[in-house]
Structure 1
Amino acid sequence: MSEFDAYLSLAQESGDHRWAFGTGFEDPLAGVATAVPDGVDAAALAACCLELGDDALIYSHRLQQWVTRAPELEEETAIANIALDLLGQARLLLTRAGQAEEGGRDEDRLAFFRDEREFRNVRLVERADADFAELAARLLIFSAWRLALLQELTASPDPVLAAIAAKSVKELTYHRDYAAGWVIRLGDGTELSHAKMQAALDGYWPLAGELDLGGEAGAFLDAVFAAATLTRPAAAPLRAVAGKTGRDGTHTQALGYILAELQSVARAHPEARW
């Protein structure tokens, strides 16, 4: 089980013992040219950054709702920092999406003034967690998938996206290992905690149908499930609704409630500055 220990993983990787990498002040884009390079499809780059930015923005909001609800103060601190990491990723990615698209919208315009059907996040990030087991289950699935995806994007021909990905990989490694530690602890714990952890995985698994959980991500998940004495869910992944996915703008009912809360102040005072 030591291979899934978050502290050990961070120490071996970087020697950094802070709760989360996103609490640092280093600018990942320092010295990086922001013009879209020749040969890079600007529309495709904008779409990619928008999708990844929306994933991070919506999931960050869900995690922030756990502040004051976590079982221990330590976990509250960890979850809050993970949420801040994802919010930081969202800001960078949405900014890059705006730079690459023709309209040139900034991060605030993209975050606060798009309607539900314009969001391109996967549906996995939308539902509220019913308990801490569900938080751990979703965070494990999401971070294992996103880490593998962002690792590939560190080789992006767009230097800005590559720099964002490199920063995000450090953060997501922590997120994944933190979640894995809790999934193992609960899965291989008491009869009750095991049942709750299995139910949480079973409940979220259909929403993971939009994700590529093969390769490194799938292997990591299988290793965690084995260490946690859990069974990989048998439910068929829900890949699309009427042939559409979250990437197409088809979402669960939960997203509308998230956006109503997330966007209310900006829409009520669109010219405000603070």
Structure 2
Amino acid sequence: MASLPPIDLPSGATGAGAFDAPAPDTNTPLFDYLLRLGDDSLILGQRLSEWCSHAPSVEVDLSLANIALDLIGQATFFLDYAGEVEGKGRDGDRLAFHRDVLDFRNCWLVEQPNGDFAQTMARQLLFSTWQKRLFQHLVGCADARIAAIAEKAVKEVSYHQELAMEWVIRLGDGTDESRRRMQDGLDWMGRFVPELFEMDDLACFLAGRGLAPDLAAFRADYDAQLHALLTEATLTVPADQRPILGGRRGHHSEHLGHLLCTMQFLPRTYPDAAW
């Protein structure tokens, strides 16, 4: 198996997530949580858009573009709501295009480079399997607006997961080359799974008030489904590693900064433009 390149952690950070978090834009816990939900979908949507005209086939090209559009739509709903909660006149567009990298609250998994097609499918499988369960739990959220967004989104994410599952099985149970690439992709992306289930102070606070789920409650189900699928695909479940945390507190890999340079270029260059 090919060796994996090192991860550039922020200065002073450790794999266990010992970071000094920057001050948030507001002290409202709901605002910060909505950023987490919105930023996850926004950044992964941007990543998948990079496949436009570069996917293995026209059909796959369209599938990835549609998933990206679904995710951007979710991000718009969550970030628009976050702007209303914050009460400072920022809407979803403003939050997406005029925040700096340290203000983003997405997990590390979604900002990782696409790599080859197998690595992209590994990331999609790991994230969509988690996001589907998250939204299923959020359908019962005490906040009616979050519940409504989740109810719509869970239908979209079900398709995202199904597409990823089909390709992981197809590549894993294919040629020696496709299996090697698929396993390498899973090993690369698998390191970022623990952060998806991190229950920090904010997550615990909101879970206690019915505004967010206890992520640990569906970790066993997540692991069981992945194990069953990867067994069918003749692949190995990535080994547990030291957790890589920090994205929820604004500490990211170098990849997010490069992504934002592309995503935010036009709105920042022409801040007064009307589209």
- Give the TM-score, by structure 1 length: 0.81
**Aligned counterpart, 1:131:** 116
- Give the superposition deviation at 1:60: 0.4
Query: Do the aligned residues in 2 keep the contact of 1:51 with 1:120 (CA within 8 Å)?
Result: yes
Q: Tell me how far apart the structure 2 counterparts of residues 105 and 209 of structure 1 sit (CA, whole Å).
A: 32
- Give the superposition deviation at 1:192: 1.2
Query: Do the aligned residues in 2 keep the contact of 1:112 with 1:267 (CA within 8 Å)?
Result: yes
Match of 2:244 among 228, 235, 239: 239
- Give the superposition deviation at 1:134: 0.4
SS of residue paired to 2:141: coil
Q: Which runs of 5+ in 1 are unaligned?
A: 1-41
Query: Do the aligned residues in 2 keep the contact of 1:150 with 1:166 (CA within 8 Å)?
Result: yes
* 1:230 maps to 2:235: yes
Q: Tell me how far apart the structure 2 counterparts of residues 151 and 46 of structure 1 sit (CA, whole Å).
A: 21
Report the AA paired with residue 168 of structure 2: V
**Aligned counterpart, 1:254:** 255
Structure 1 residues 143 and 260: alpha-carbon distance in aligned structure 2, compared to 1, 3 A threshold? same
* 1:189 maps to 2:157: no
Which of the pair has the greater relative contact order for Cα pairs under 8 Å at 6+ separation? 2
Report the AA paired with residue 119 of structure 1: F
Q: Tell me how far apart the structure 2 counterparts of residues 139 and 49 of structure 1 sit (CA, whole Å).
A: 21
SS of residue paired to 1:214: helix
Q: Tell me how far apart the structure 2 counterparts of residues 215 and 150 of structure 1 sit (CA, whole Å).
A: 17
Q: Tell me how far apart the structure 2 counterparts of residues 142 and 239 of structure 1 sit (CA, whole Å).
A: 15
* 1:200 maps to 2:185: yes
Q: Tell me how far apart the structure 2 counterparts of residues 96 and 237 of structure 1 sit (CA, whole Å).
A: 34
Query: Runs of 4 or more off by more than 4 Å in structure 1?
Result: none
**Aligned counterpart, 1:271:** 272
Percent identity for Structure 1 against Structure 2: 46
- Give the superposition deviation at 1:150: 0.9
Structure 1 residues 217 and 121: alpha-carbon distance in aligned structure 2, compared to 1, 3 A threshold? same
**Aligned counterpart, 1:218:** 223
Query: Do the aligned residues in 2 keep the contact of 1:202 with 1:235 (CA within 8 Å)?
Result: no
Structure 1 residues 66 and 85: alpha-carbon distance in aligned structure 2, compared to 1, 3 A threshold? same
- Give the TM-score, by structure 2 length: 0.81
Q: Tell me how far apart the structure 1 counterparts of residues 140 and 28 of structure 2 sit (CA, whole Å).
A: 19
Root-mean-square deviation over aligned CA pairs: 1.3
**Aligned counterpart, 2:58:** 73
Deviations 1:167-221 (A, max 9, x none): 0100001100110000001101111111111111011111222012713322221
Q: Tell me how far apart the structure 1 counterparts of residues 173 and 103 of structure 2 sit (CA, whole Å).
A: 41
Q: Which runs of 5+ in 2 are unaligned?
A: 1-26, 198-217
SS of residue paired to 1:140: helix
Q: Tell me how far apart the structure 2 counterparts of residues 120 and 265 of structure 1 sit (CA, whole Å).
A: 22
**Aligned counterpart, 1:19:** none
- Give the superposition deviation at 1:104: 3.9
Query: Do the aligned residues in 2 keep the contact of 1:94 with 1:110 (CA within 8 Å)?
Result: yes
SS of residue paired to 1:94: helix
Match of 1:45 among 30, 41, 54: 30
Provide the aligned length of Structure 1 versus Structure 2.
229
Deviations 1:228-247 (A, max 9, x none): 0111111505333xxxx100
